[in-house]
Amino acid sequence: MRLVAENLGASRGGDPVFSGLSFSLAAGEALIVTGPNGVGKSTLLRVIAGLLRADTGLIALERDHGAEAGVLAENSHYLGHRNGMKRELTVSENLDFWQTFMVMEGDAARMPVADACAVLNLDHVLHLPYGYLSAGQQRRIAMARLLLSHRRLWILDEPTAALDLAAEEAFAGMVNRHLDDGGLAVIATHQPLAIARQATLSMRARAQDEGALS
């Protein structure tokens, strides 16, 4: 399983944000996307998630012998800046909904809602309305969604903003376990994360010489 991007370019409102971006990510690896604000990290992640159309190039999840492994968006978890949870519903109602909605019939590897919250040390807030939680707790609940159904690729946009140190560690452990299971992750972040196997994609402001992969 590989995530392969070739000559990827995207624009926002007609202005090109980045172009000529190529990378390849093997199973068990995380791609850390770094760079200054406005350089196109979120745009890149939205392109990978299929929420924005790429101007040029293509991106796909490939099996080892090169065949495409299903639609990329359907095999991905996307955690953007917004958490995708309803303030009016309780935490467990929110998570129950996403679990039922995201797990297709015949799929395995689902984690019970309470267990997923326990991973992030939040099993005591299940009965509270989501809107009552603090920003960091809301973020952690949104992360718990990643565990509810098995998706190969995690696309995370600044996941650790608003998190305390303990939650950051729990998050890093979560990502490491996902990678150990043969998953992939693309993470845009400004903070160093304790993730074992990572490649860094540093995006620079000039549109021509994008994407130094180290």
Partner 1 sequence: MRALLWRDIRIGIRAGGGALIGVLFFLTVVAVVPFGVGPDLNLLSRIGPAILWIGALLAALLGLDRLFQGDREDGTLDLLLMQEHPLALTVLIKCLAHWVVSGLPLVAASPLLGLFMNVEPLAIGATTLTLLVGTPAVTFIGAVGAAVAVALPRGGLLVSILVLPLAIPILVFGVSAAYAAVEDPAPFLPPFLILTAITLLFSVIGPVAAAAALRASTD
The residues binding partner 1 (CB under 8 A) are 12, 46, 49-52, 71, 73-74, 76, 78, 80-89, 93, 96-98, 100-102, 104
CB closer to partner 1 out of 86 and 177: 86
Q: Shortest Cβ distance from residue 94 to partner 1 (Å)? A: 8
CB closer to partner 1 out of 141 and 195: 141
Q: Shortest Cβ distance from residue 3 to partner 1 (Å)? A: 15
Evaluated on CA atoms 176, 178, 184, 188, the torsion sign reads: negative
CB closer to partner 1 out of 86 and 190: 86
Radius of gyration of the chain measured on its C-alpha atoms? 17
Instruction: Copy the structure tokens of residue 72.
Output: 């990329």
b or e along 5-34 (b: 16 or more beta carbons within 10 Å of the residue's beta carbon)? beebbbbeeeeebbbebebebebbbbbbbb
CB closer to partner 1 out of 23 and 98: 98
CB closer to partner 1 out of 83 and 176: 83
Beta carbons of 118 and 2 less than 8 angstroms apart? no
Q: Shortest Cβ distance from residue 212 to partner 1 (Å)? A: 27
- Cα separation, 120 vs 30, in Å, equals 20
Q: Shortest Cβ distance from residue 77 to partner 1 (Å)? A: 9
Instruction: Copy the structure tokens of residue 171.
Output: 């998050």
Beta carbons of 44 and 203 less than 8 angstroms apart? yes
Q: Shortest Cβ distance from residue 145 to partner 1 (Å)? A: 9
- Cα separation, 78 vs 153, in Å, equals 9
